[in-house]
């Protein structure tokens, strides 16, 4: 399984650096930028350059914003190529969960379902947690 990080500006490059700081290097992790003046065609070219030079043809493209240009470019490719899944919501917990998953269990069809624990365990509200803690202490 290969992973491409993509988003507006340099967010994907910086996210890759953060992932490597925490978990080390991944040979199957790529990041591309989306600069002002670029469009969907240039993004698709960047995706295809990575996809076409990879031996492993399974790809999950993780983008920053649902329905933003990086997402839309990846979605168009996913409609044409069956070996691509596109997930929005680029974050460290999401990336670390996918990268550290058992690759034999991840496939294009179930990649999103693999993230259930990320959705439940890593998106937290301090106020909600502290409110619940106060209620428990009052009991």
Instruction: Just give the CATH number of 2-138.
Output: 3.40.50.510
* Residue 90 · residue 11 · CB < 8 Å: yes
User: What's the mean pLDDT when you consider all of the chain?
Assistant: 84
- Report pLDDT digits (tens) over 6-57: 999 999 999 999 999 999 999 999 999 999 999 999 999 999 999 999 876 8
State the pLDDT confidence band at 109, using cuts at 50, 70 and 90. low
42 C-beta neighbours (distance < 10 Å), count: 15
H or E stretch covering 42:
helix 40-52
Domain borders along the chain are: 2-138
State the pLDDT confidence band at 106, using cuts at 50, 70 and 90. low
Contacts of 93 (CB under 8 A, 6+ apart): 118, 121, 122
13 C-beta neighbours (distance < 10 Å), count: 14
Burial class of 64 by CB neighbour count within 10 A (0 to 12, 13 to 18, 19+): buried
DSSP, collapsed to helix, strand or coil, labels residue 7 as coil
Residues annotated catalytic, as ranges: 8
State the pLDDT confidence band at 111, using cuts at 50, 70 and 90. low
């Amino acid at each position: 399984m290969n992973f491409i990080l993509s988003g507006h500006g340099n967010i994907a490059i910086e996210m890759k650096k953060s992932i490597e700081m925490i978990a080390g290097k991944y040979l199957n992790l790529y990041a591309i930028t989306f600069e002002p003046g670029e469009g969907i065609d240039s993004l698709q070219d960047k995706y295809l350059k990575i996809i076409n030079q990879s031996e492993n043809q399974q790809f999950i493209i993780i983008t920053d914003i649902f329905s933003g240009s990086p997402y839309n470019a990846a979605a168009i490719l996913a409609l044409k190529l069956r070996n691509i899944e596109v997930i929005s919501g680029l974050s460290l917990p999401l990336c670390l969960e996918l990268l550290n998953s058992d690759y034999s269990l991840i496939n294009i069809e179930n990649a999103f379902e693999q993230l259930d624990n990320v959705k439940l365990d890593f998106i937290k509200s301090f106020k909600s947690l502290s409110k619940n803690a106060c209620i428990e202490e009052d009991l």
